[in-house]
């Protein structure tokens, strides 16, 4: 049974892979497919909070707190959403490359 650092050295595992009980191959399991929609929902909720706080700031422009909360939530949304997209795209690319290798 190979360790994760060995798999990374051989190019069989990426930097974002996590150690699991059977480290022979990293793959998408049912739990990841269940978790991903919840993660997307969390991202959309962050965007909703950013828009909502910005609308509050438009009603009370003398207060700076809603604007700060809005910008913070927008920055968190953009960072989390882009990181999730990059990871999902990389995992899908690696999965198709691994499928082509095995065929």
29-75: per-residue pLDDT in tens?
Answer: 667 778 899 999 999 999 999 999 999 999 999 999 999 999 999 99
Taking only the tens place, the pLDDT of each residue in 6-35 is 777 777 777 677 666 554 445 566 677 788
Main-chain dihedrals φ then ψ at residue 22, nearest 5 degrees: -105, 105
Q: What is the distance between the alpha carbons of residues 63 and 43, in angstroms, rounded to a whole number?
A: 26
- With beta carbons less than 8 A apart as the criterion, state whether 53 and 65 touch: no
The set of residues, in sequence order, having a beta carbon less than 8 Å from that of 74 and lying 6+ positions away, is: 47, 50
Say if pTM beats, i.e. exceeds, 0.95.
no
């Amino acid at each position: 049974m190979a360790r994760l650092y060995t798999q990374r050295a051989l190019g069989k595992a990426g930097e974002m892979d996590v150690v699991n009980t059977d480290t022979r191959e990293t793959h998408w399991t049912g739990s990841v497919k269940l978790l991903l929609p919840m993660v997307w929902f969390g991202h959309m909720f962050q965007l909703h909070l950013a828009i909502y706080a910005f609308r509050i700031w438009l009603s009370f422009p003398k207060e700076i707190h809603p604007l700060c909360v809005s910008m913070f939530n927008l920055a968190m949304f953009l960072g989390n959403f882009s990181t999730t997209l990059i990871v999902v795209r990389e995992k899908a690319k690696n999965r198709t490359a691994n499928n082509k290798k095995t065929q």
